[in-house]
Structure 1
Amino acid sequence: MPKDHDRKTNALRELDAARVPYEARFFTCPEALSGVEVANLLGLDPDRVFKTLVTQAKSGGHYVFMIPVACELDLKKAAAAVGEKAVAMLPARELLPLTGYVHGGCSPIGMRRPFPTVIDETADLFDRIAFSGGRLGCQVEMAPDDLARVVPLVRADLTVA
């Protein structure tokens, strides 16, 4: 079993530095699982497990969106939430160089540089939400308001109806 400092990701180090309460949950994950599979594996309600999606706008800007794992991002709502005409999902091959994270292990915390981040308004329905801790096999659970202390968040309706 690796020592705790061997398991720390950039996201977990930033949370520690900010002194916000969180719980890191580690699990065996040799390949990327769907968010619903992760929720089921950890015994969590998929409505309170959020995936982190990175987009690029026509303007060239990058934006991060967090939505429940069983939902689909509405690109028009997402663009409106950040004041852009249009946004598109970032190609998977561009994720690691831009964020420092791999597909399935992308956290809104600890990216190579901060990007405007919008979370689906349903996060406020829960005392705690879960999201990637910055690598495959690591999820973070924490209060949405505590997440907002580390990553400035805008709340909006982001999912396909």
Structure 2
Amino acid sequence: MQVTKTNAMRMLDADHISYEVHTYDNEDGKIHGSAVANKIGKAPDSVFKTLVTHSGNSLYIFVIPVGAELDMKKAAKAAGEKKLEMLPVKDLQKWTGYIRGGCSPIGMKKRYPTFIDSSAELQETIVVSAGKVGLQLELPPEQLAATVAALFTEVIK
């Protein structure tokens, strides 16, 4: 399958960070993380989803395992906010340049404060969206953190 480079891939290439691309067919519309992990043959605890939250006009990005749920209190504390809310899906593309199911922590329109759940540090590599539905990137969590200036912190329930 011919893969067109996404913004996320171009950014990693520019930083000389190696990664592996995984593709999956999304004809059935199952874009939730567990289905993605299954389709690419990876354990769900090594496949991470990107969640976008906001407090007023400030956006915060959280990268957590696909089978986990974001703890909004822990997330707000990590972001230094009293309260966070999930960004409505209708606003996702406007703020990040990505659509639901293809939201990568790498290559958003702007660099937002980003937090990766500390469970990622237990993995040799993690898988995140490449910025397009059907494409995933696998890379060491430390490399991802360095690329997006992310902090590792516990943010899941």
Give the TM bin, normalised by the shorter chain.
over 0.9
Aligned with residue 10 of structure 1, among 7, 10, 13 = 7
Aligned with residue 49 of structure 1, among 47, 51, 56 = 47
- Matched-pair identity in %: 46
- TM-score normalised to structure 1 length: 0.93
CA apart distance, 1:8: 0.8
Question: Do residues 137 (structure 1) and 121 (structure 2) align?
Answer: no
C-alpha distance in 2 between matches for 1:137 and 1:22: 16
1:1-150 residue pairs with structure 2 within 5 A?
1-2=1-2, 4=3, 7-30=4-27, 31=29, 33-57=31-55, 59-150=56-147
Runs of at least 5 residues in structure 1 that lack an aligned partner in the other structure: none
> Is residue 23–residue 40 contact of structure 2 (8 Å, CA) maintained in 1?
no
C-alpha distance in 2 between matches for 1:24 and 1:98: 25
CA apart distance, 1:149: 2.2
**2:10 alignment partner, SS class:** helix
C-alpha distance in 1 between matches for 2:146 and 2:85: 27
CA apart distance, 1:32: 5.1
Moved more, 106-115 or 147-156: 147-156
C-alpha distance in 2 between matches for 1:26 and 1:147: 19
> Is residue 32–residue 104 contact of structure 1 (8 Å, CA) maintained in 2?
no
Runs of 4+ in 1 over 4 A off after TM superposition: none
